[in-house]
Structures are given as structure tokens and as C-alpha cells.
Structure 1
Amino acid sequence: MVAAEAEEIAKLLYGVRGSATRFETEKDDTFLLDCAGRGKFVLKIAHPSERVEELDFQVALLRHLEQRAPDLPIPRAHRGVDGADLPIVTTSDGERRVVRLITFLCGVPLDRTTSTAPQRERIGEVLAKLRHSMADFSHPADDRALAWDVTHLLDLSDLLSFIPEGGKRAWTVRALERFAEIKPRLDLCRRQVLHNDFNTSNLVVDHASPQFLTGVIDFGDAVRTAIAVDVSTALMNQMPKTIDHANRRDLFDEPRDVLRGYLRYAELTDEELRLIPFLAMGRLAVRALLTCWRAEIFPENSRYILRHTEAGWAHLEWFNSVSTAQISDLLTREEP
């Protein structure tokens, strides 16, 4: 979809006029809408395959958070001119598409900049507060089976053929084997609706702000899952893009800063702390399996799909090099 059509859709459904610029995305048509004096918005025109129930879940969750925790830096969902949460438009291609308009949160995605230990602790604090704010939320679509929910990792084993042969496939297979060993313990862990995608692309930051973290975006992977899964995803995404073996204790040096901030506002059991490193490893395997598969199906968008995958191979190799007991102790041992 071109920007001009997006501008017309925004005017028709929301009564806002602005200049649209396309964001790079995997499925949706998503635009930054600059409305000058009225500010900036994000216009999301859902892919035709998106289920309305799941989109309604996302909007309902944002509205819940707006009521429960108005100080958290999350987007606000706007209603259409007719009061609809999810207005529908027929595009120039004749497709019926669900449309959402949400506030734009200023800052820079964390994957384009750096962070200090105190700033990473702030990220952990916000994740913990977000967990508490979602604790009493429910929706008919919140327990859908989501591929990016690590609890379903073993269901993706058929995608192993898309992983390049050699070390990369061997590391991924080993990650699946280790995950299978801890899966019965994971099934007993506490669950609730959670963000489930606290990655550095979805964290908007401003180094000039005392809060540092100025936005948590993209609730598209929110789901009812284990609390430990949500934390593990956040920690995995703080792992270094490159590994300096000579000066690094392990992959969790930076993630421990996030965990330290998280534990100031939300507790984790010893069992959850022992499982989180395995779940971080599992998330790396999920990313490898899904992105390699999707890159082959959609080669024209492979650069975007694989943008975070390369760094993950070194991480999987590292997990493969340490024992199961060492992985289990990564977050429970005393800090030096």
C-alpha cells in the first residue's frame, strides 16, 4: 500500500490529516502519520489474514493498561470517527482490512543505540510493572497458540530442515533437546497475560530523559504464557551482539542488569530463575527456526526477517558449549 492511500484511510476512518511514511514491517502495512499540530500517530492496516479477535485482544489490552497504569510508557489506542475500536476499510485492491490508530512514542529504538547498567535496570523495572498491570486481564483470545511463545518450541521441530546444515543446525537441535528436558517443569509455572516480546526493537529510549525508556511498543505477541517466559525474552534480547570470549563471564552480564531492576518490583521463584536461562536459549531457537523458514518463503523480505538472527548463532553456540548444570545456575549463583 502506498502512503497516499494510507493518508486517505486515516482521514476517512479517524478524521486526521497528515503525511504518511511507511515503516518496515513483516506483515502489516504500518505508517508514521505526521499530523503537524496534532502530533504523530502510527496507522496500522492489518494483513487480511489477521484474526479480528486477536486484534481486539491487543486493543483491549492497551485500554486495560491505560486504566491500570497510566504512567507506563505505552501507546494509546484511538477510536474511529464512528466510535469503533477496529474500523474496517476496503482498500484500492478490494481487500477488507482492519485499521488501528495509536499514539506515536518519541525516541529511538534501543537496537539502534546503547545502554548503561542503570538504564538496563530501568528496563527491568518497567517490565515488572507491566506484569503487575496485566495480572488481572483476560480476553477470549489471550490463550491462542502463538509460535513466538517459547512454550510451543517443540511444535516447531519440523522447521529444522530450514536451518543451514552443520553447526547451526546442531546447536538448534541441542537447544530443542534441552528444552524438552525442562518442559514438564515449565508447564507447572505461573501464567498470565504478558507482553512476550520485550526486544530491543520494541523498546523506545531517550538518553536525555531521566526515565530513559520512553516507550514500550508492539503488543502483537502478547499472550497468556509463563511469567518466566516473558522475563527470559527480555533477558535474551539484552545479550551482546558480539561475544568477547577473553573478557566475558557469560552471555548474561548485561541481562542481569535487567533482572536486577525487575526484582525490585516483582518476585521470581527459585524454579523460575533456574528455568529462565533455558527459556532464553529456547527463544534463540524459536527465532532461528521461524526466521529461517520465513526468509525462504518470503525471500524478497529476507533482510528484514533475518535482521536479528545472525547474532543468535553465536549465542546458541555458547549455550551448546556449557553444561546443563551451568545453564541452570546462571541466575541463581551469587554475584562476584
Structure 2
Amino acid sequence: MDAAQAARVARDVYGLDGTPNRMETEKDDTFRLTLPDGRRFVLKIANPGESHEELDLQVSVLRHLERHAPDLPVPRVFADLRGRAISGITDANGTRRSVRLMSFLTGTVLDTIRPDAGERREIGRLLARLRLALADFTHPGAGRILAWDVRQLPLLAPLLADVEDAGQRRALETGFARFMDLRPRIDGLRRQVLHNDFSRSNILVDRGMLDRGGPARVSGIIDFGDAVETAIAIDVSTALLNQLPRDAEGREVPDLLAEARQLLAGYLEIAGLTDDELSLIPHLVMGRIVARALLSLWRARMFPDNSRYILRNTGQGWAQLDWFLARGADEMSALLL
């Protein structure tokens, strides 16, 4: 969908006359909508393959957080002219699409800067607060099978054969086998509905206070598209993965988790984890690296025009995976204890 079509959707569905600017996303059409008075919104036209139940899960999570944790910096959902949170349109190709309008959160995308220790601890605190706020949340679609839920890594086994580089395939097969050895323990972990994608691309920070001697502030948690009922430890492991060094290739890294521990320390200030969860988290980080590589390589083959965006985090993962594979299972289990 181009900007002109998006402008018509904003006007016809929400009564808003503004200028849409496309935002880079993996599978939907997302625009920052700027009104003449300066107000900004996010207009999301969903991929036709996304079900209404999936979108309703995301909307329901955000509205639950608005009611029960209004101080968390997450987007607000706005109704259309008919009072609906999810609208339906027919695009220029005659395809039915679902539309949502949300608040635009300001800040610097964490993916574009190097976070400091204070920011990492604050990210951990917010992840824990988000978990606690969603502890009693339920939704019919929360139990969906989601490829990005590391609990579902066994379902990605067929993708191993399609990895063209033999060395990369062997590393992924080894990591996959280690995960399978631990599957009974992973299946027994505590579960609830969680964000499941606390990556640097989904966190915004405001460093304005630093200039005045104050603390860094996380100004936004975005993209609840992977929200699902999964293990608490998996949610934490995804956040830790996204704090691993990106330049580990070609240099010795004594402790790959050094900076991730700062995030974990902030998390544990707010919410606890069991020893079993802490012992499994390093293995789950490795499992997420395997899943990310398999899914990204597959999606890049399926959508070559968007391969740059899809593969943006894949390259760094090979050195990270090698670091974990160089350590035995018992050593990995003790990394965070």
C-alpha cells in the first residue's frame, strides 16, 4: 500500500487528514501519520495473512495494560469512526485488510545506539513490570503456535536441510540437538502471556535527562505482534539475547553475557526467577539464536525484496552461536546462577 492509499484510509476510517510516512516493517504496511497540528499516530494496515484473532490479541494486551499499568510506556489503541479497534478495508488490489490506529511513541530506537548499563537495567525493570501486569491476562488466541516462540523450535526442524552453508548447518544442527535434550524441562516452565520480542528494535529510549545529569529513560515498548502464552524464562532469554555483543566474530569474548547480566539484574529487582529458570535461560538464548537463523534465512528466500531487513540481525548470530557451542551443557547451565 502506498502513502496516498494510506492517507485515504486515515481520512475515511478515522476522520484524520494527515501526511503518512512509511515505516520499515517485516510484513505489514505501517505509516507514521502526522496531522497539521503536529499530532502523530501509527497507522497499521495488516498483512492479509494475519487473522482477526491475532490482531485482537495484540489490541487486548494493549488495552489491558492501559487499564492495569497505565504508566508503562506502551502504545494506546484508538477506535475508528464507528467505535471499532480493528477496522476492515478493501485495498487497491481488492484484498481485504485489517487496520489499526495507535499512538506514536517518541524516542530513539535502541537498535541505533549502544545502551549503557543504566539503560540495560531499566529495560530489565520494564520487562519485569510488563510480565507482572500481564500475569492475569487471558485471551482465546494466546495459545497460538508462533514460530518465534522458542517453545516451538522443534517445529522448525525441516528448515535445517535448507541451510546452504555446510558449516552454518552443522552449527545449527548441534544447537538444535542440545535444545531437544532439554525439551522436557523447558515444557515444564512457568508460562503466561508475554511480549516475547524485547529486541532493541522494539524499545525506545529518551536520553534527554542524561544531558541534565539525570537517569536514562525508556520511552516506549512497541510491537506486540509476537505476544503469546510462553515460558517466562523464554521472554527473559529473548531480552538477554538482544544485549549480546554484535562484534563477537574474530575476537575473544570471555563472557558473552556480561552486558545482558545488567538487564537481568534490573529484572530481578522487580520480579523473581527460579533457579531452574535461571539455569535454562542460557540454553534458551541459544535456542533463540537457532530459531532466528532458521526463520530469517527461510524468510529471506521467500521475500528476497525485503531480505536486507529480514537478515539484519542474522550475521551477528553465528559468532554468538559458536560461543555457546564451545561450552558444555553444565557450564551453560551455571552461567547465570
Shorter-chain TM-score: what band? over 0.9
Amino acid at match of 1:195: H
Secondary structure at 1:169 match in 2: helix
User: 2 CA distance for matches of 1:211 and 1:246?
Assistant: 30
State the shift of 1:40 in Å. Answer: 0.8
Output the CA distance in 1 between the equivalents of 2:183 and 2:208.
Answer: 42
Q: Deviations over 1:245-280 (max 9, x none)?
A: 766322100100000000000000000000000000
How far is the alpha carbon of 1:296 from its aligned partner?
A: 0.8
CA offsets, 1:274-325, max 9 Å, x none?
Answer: 0000000000000000000111111111111101100011111111111111
State the distance in 2 between where 1:30 and 1:246 align: 38
Give the letter aligned to residue 21 of structure 1: N
Q: Residue 259 of structure 1 corresponds to which residue in structure 2?
A: 264
State whether structure 2 residue 174 is matched by structure 1 residue 169.
no
Kept in 2, the 8 Å contact 1:42–1:104? The answer is yes
Equivalent in the alignment of 1:109: 109
- CA deviations over 1:161-204 (Å, ceiling 9, x no partner): 23232221111111111101111001111100000000000001
Q: Which residue of 1 aligns with 2:71?
A: 71
Query: Does the alignment pair 1:230 with 2:235?
Result: yes
**CA contact 1:44–1:101 (8 Å) conserved in 2:** yes
User: Which residue, 277, 302, 311 being the options, matches 1:306?
Assistant: 311
Conserved? CA contact 2:89–2:98, under 8 Å: yes
Q: Is the 8 A contact 1:275 1:328 kept in 2?
A: yes
Q: Counterpart amino acid of 1:223?
A: V
> 4+ runs of 1 displaced by more than 6 Å?
244-247
* Preserved CA contact (<8 Å) 2:118 2:216: no
Counterpart of 2:246 in structure 1: which amino acid?
A: K
Does residue 273 in structure 1 map to residue 278 in structure 2?
yes
Contact 1:235/1:259, CA 8 A, preserved across alignment: yes
**Cα separation, 2, equivalents of 1:188 and 1:48:** 35
Q: Is 1:62 equivalent to 2:62 in the alignment? A: yes
2:133 is aligned to: 133
Query: How far, CA to CA, are the matches of 2:299 and 2:2 in structure 1?
Result: 24
Q: Aligned residue pairs: how many? A: 332
Deviation of 1:116 after TM superposition, in Å, equals 1.0
Contact 1:163-1:288 at 8 Å conserved across structures:
no
Deviations 1:143-165 (A, max 9, x none): 00000000010110100123232
Q: Distance in 2 between matches of 1:163 and 1:135?
A: 38
Looking at structure 2, the residues matched to 247 and 36 of structure 1 have their Cα atoms a distance apart, in angstroms, of 53
Task: Give the counterpart letter for 1:202 in structure 2.
Answer: N
Per-residue CA deviations over 1:119-157 (Å, capped at 9, x if unaligned) read 100000000000000000000000000000000101101
Q: Is the 8 A contact 2:171 2:321 kept in 1?
A: yes
- TM-score for the superposition, normalised by structure 1: 0.96
Query: C-alpha distance in 2, partners of 1:33/1:136?
Result: 33
The answer to which of 245-254 and 279-288 deviates more is: 245-254
Query: How far apart in 2 are the matches of 1:72 and 1:267?
Result: 19
SS at match of 2:50: coil
Change (3 A) 1:227 1:83: same
Equivalent-residue separation in structure 2 for 1:244 and 1:25 (angstroms): 27
Question: Would you say 1:239 and 2:244 are equivalent positions?
Answer: yes
Partner secondary structure for residue 262 of structure 1: helix
Q: Give the whole-Å Cα distance in 1 for the aligned partners of 2:184 and 2:82.
A: 48
Which residue matches 2:212?
none
Residue equivalent to 2:226: 221
Match of 1:284 in 2: 289
Structure 1 residue 49: deviation in Å? 1.1
Residues 38 and 13 of structure 1, relative CA distance in 2, 3 Å threshold: farther
Matched residue of 1:31: which SS? Answer: strand
One-letter identity of the residue aligned with 1:221: D
C-alpha distance in 2 between matches for 1:89 and 1:54: 17
Letter in 1 for 2:285: A
Q: Which structure 2 segments of 5+ residues have no match? A: 210-214
Displacement after TM superposition at 1:71 (Å):
0.4
* Distance in 1 (alpha carbons) for counterparts of 2:4 and 2:43: 13
Superposition CA RMSD, Å: 1.2
Contact preservation (8 Å) 2:247, 2:316: yes
Unaligned ranges ≥5, structure 1: none
Residues of 2 paired with 1:169 and 1:34: CA distance? 46
Distance 2:40 2:251 in 1: 46
